[in-house]
Amino acid sequence: MKNEKILIIGACGQIGVELTLALRKVYGSDQVIATDIRNEHPLLKGSGPYYSLNALDAVATYELVKKESITQIYLLAALLSATGEKDPKRTWDINMESMLGVLDIGVQEKLNKIYWPSSIAVFGPTTPRDHTPQQTIVEPRTVYGISKYAGELWCQYYHQRWGLDVRSMRYPGLISWKSEPGGGTTDYAVEIYIEALKKSKYTCFLSESTYLPMMYMDDAIRGTIELMEASADKIKTRMAYNISAMSFSPREITSAIQYHIPEFKIEYNPDFRQQIADGWPRSIDDRAARADWGWQHEFDLNRMTYDMLKQLKKKLQLA
Ligand code: VAH
């Protein structure tokens, strides 16, 4: 077992639950300390140590790092694109202050590595929207995207100034069945599966032709761990890596679901999230991640749809 002690901040979110369980399989349950401001997620109960921790409390975080002799931190706590637009200043504070506190602890305690997720939300309507390059025009229009790009720049600064090994990737929309989505613009791609199984109908808050980059959570978790385990000499950027698996629209995911549930019906009622989605890429160029540290996706829309419906039937006791 690798001799690391990992602290996960935001362990009860959509990514956090699955990343905590995956890291516990790799490093051992007691080597992965899960924390969140919320109560422990049911899927984490009994799987390893859990503490209540506010990501903004740098003193409590520092004390836990010292108490547990932490060597790596995964900071996942953040307010996402849709939620963030409801309270921009609070979103900026939570997303940035938590990150700066962790970066300072990383330097002060000479931590081995830090992971901090970015998002394709860093791109905006002036960015080339098809096969969006690793380096391009970056003018985010949501406070979430602004905070994620500013965070990337801080990560790069802490690496170049103090040698901190902080790594990041720009997640597309993530689709999972184990954990709930966290208030993002891509959450429709999770809700649609649940509603298809429960009611055979769904009202989508994006228009039918809204193409967005997406990824199954299994690929995202595996890619995150592979990035963190890559040797440092393979990491050629300390901004966040573009990473991608597929792009689809609500119309296409509907067809994929109807292959299994022919009676499934969808209606479209775009809301404020449509404007956010319209400012994001339709597809991502992730050649740098594939070349530098061997990123490869494994799930396409059909394979993901099969697995989502199979797993959700069991979870929702509809099997
Ligand atoms: C969101 N799920 O919708 C997140 C993600 C690319 C989207 O960052 O805000």
CATH of the domain at 84: 3.40.50.720
- Going by C-alpha positions, the residue among 246, 233, 259 that lies closest to residue 296 is 246
Give the separation between CA 181 and CA 178, rounded to whole angstroms. Answer: 10
pLDDT tens-digit series, residues 28-47? 999 999 999 999 999 999 99
pLDDT tens-digit series, residues 249-301? 999 999 999 999 999 999 999 999 999 999 999 999 999 999 999 999 999 99
Let me know whether 126 and 257 are in one domain. Answer: no
Please state the atom number of ligand 1 nearest to the C-alpha of residue 212.
6
Helix (H) or strand (E) holding 175: strand 173-175
pLDDT the model gives residue 278: 97
Domain count across the chain: 2
pLDDT the model gives residue 244: 96
Separation of CA 30 and ligand 1 centre (Å): 30
Let me know whether 197 and 135 are in one domain. Answer: no
Q: Is the pLDDT of residue 8 over 60?
A: yes
CATH of the domain at 188: 3.90.25
Let me know whether 231 and 303 are in one domain. Answer: no
Separation of CA 23 and ligand 1 centre (Å): 22
Give the separation between CA 34 and CA 53, rounded to whole angstroms. Answer: 9
- Cross-strand bridge partners of residue 52: 36
Please state the atom number of ligand 1 nearest to the C-alpha of residue 213.
6
Considering the candidates 27, 50, 74, 144, report the single residue annotated as catalytic. 144
Let me know whether 10 and 87 are in one domain. Answer: yes
Measure Cα distances from 144 to 209, 289, 298 in Å. 24, 23, 28
pLDDT the model gives residue 180: 85
pLDDT tens-digit series, residues 58-73? 999 999 999 999 999 9
pLDDT tens-digit series, residues 160-171? 999 999 999 999
The letter for the amino acid at 244 is: S
Q: Is 79 in the pocket of ligand 1 (CB under 6 A)?
A: no
Let me know whether 225 and 258 are in one domain. Answer: no
- The 3-state DSSP composition of the chain as helix, strand, coil percent (nearest 5) reads 45, 15, 40
Residue 53 within a domain: yes
Mean pLDDT score, 202-223: 98
Q: Is the pLDDT of residue 190 over 70?
A: yes
Q: Which residues of 176-205 are buried (b: 16+ CB within 10 A; e: fewer)?
A: bbebbbbbbbbbbbbebbbbbbeeeebebb
Task: Write the DSSP string, 236-304.
Answer: --SSPEE--SEEE-HHHHHHHHHHH-TT-EEEE---THHHHHHTS-SSB--HHHHHHH-------HHHH
Q: Which of the four pLDDT bands, split at 50, 70 and 90, describes residue 181?
A: confident
Residue 62 within a domain: yes
> Could you list the residue range(s) of the whole structural domain that residue 187 is in?
174-214+246-283+299-315
Let me know whether 11 and 105 are in one domain. Answer: yes
* Site of tokens 């319209």: 278
| Three-state secondary-structure class, residue 265 | strand
Let me know whether 208 and 309 are in one domain. Answer: yes
Q: How far is CA 313 from the centre of its chain?
A: 24
Residue 294 within a domain: no
The length of the chain, given as a count of residues: 319
Let me know whether 50 and 182 are in one domain. Answer: no
Mean pLDDT score, 75-99: 96
pLDDT tens-digit series, residues 245-263? 999 999 999 999 999 999 9
Residue 288 within a domain: no
Let me know whether 16 and 150 are in one domain. Answer: yes
Residue located nearest, by CA, to atom 4 of ligand 1:
184
Check if 202 is active-site: no
Residue 258 within a domain: yes
User: Mean pLDDT, the chain, as a whole number?
Assistant: 97
Q: Which of the four pLDDT bands, split at 50, 70 and 90, describes residue 2?
A: low
Residue 292 within a domain: no
Q: Is the pLDDT of residue 191 over 70?
A: yes
Of 132, 171, 278, 283, the residue with max ligand 1 atoms within 8 A of its CB, to mutate for a pocket test, comes to 171
Residue located nearest, by CA, to atom 3 of ligand 1:
184
Residue 153 near residue 239, CB atoms below 8 Å: yes
Show the tokens assigned to 50: 């859990």
Residue 106 within a domain: yes
What is the radius of gyration, based on Cα positions, of the chain? 19
Mean pLDDT score, 176-180: 92
Please state the atom number of ligand 1 nearest to the C-alpha of residue 81.
9
Let me know whether 40 and 151 are in one domain. Answer: yes
Let me know whether 209 and 111 are in one domain. Answer: no
Let me know whether 167 and 179 are in one domain. Answer: no
Give the separation between CA 146 and CA 142, rounded to whole angstroms. Answer: 6
Q: Is 84 in the pocket of ligand 1 (CB under 6 A)?
A: no
DSSP structure class, residue 4: -
